[in-house]
Amino acid sequence: MEILIEILAEGLIQFLLELIADLFSGSRWSDHSKAWYCVAYLVLGAAIGGLSLLLVPTFLPVSVPLKVASIVVIPVLAGLMMRGLGNWRKHRGKGKTNLETFTHAYCFAFGMALVRSFG
């Protein structure tokens, strides 16, 4: 039983490491994997949001309307900025990473904002 758990854990760790490496590479992704990347960036953003709570445990907007506004507005702005950065890099002949798309940057920022606001 312990061997089976060890094999599954090693496989899961290898899969996650390859996914993280693929997330930050400039490689092309298929339409089927775009949804998985979105989920991965959402989870990664939530994890980093959780880590940021360890460093800065207080969240500046204390009222619920401001927290909701930060969950709605900040991910949209992050998505637009990353898309702009990706287009700028592409125009200059440099590779565009997966995070430099609106959808993936939005998912990352949304996960982080959710954890920061209500964590």
In Å, what is the CA distance from 3 to each residue of 7, 22, 85, 108? 6, 28, 46, 35
Q: What is the mean pLDDT of residues 9-28?
A: 65
| Three-state secondary-structure class, residue 39 | helix
Q: Is the pTM of this model over 0.85?
A: no
Tens digits of residue pLDDT in 54-82: 888 876 667 778 888 888 899 999 999 99
In Å, what is the CA distance from 12 to each residue of 17, 53, 95, 119? 9, 26, 29, 26
Q: Contact at 8 Å (CB) between 99 and 108? A: yes
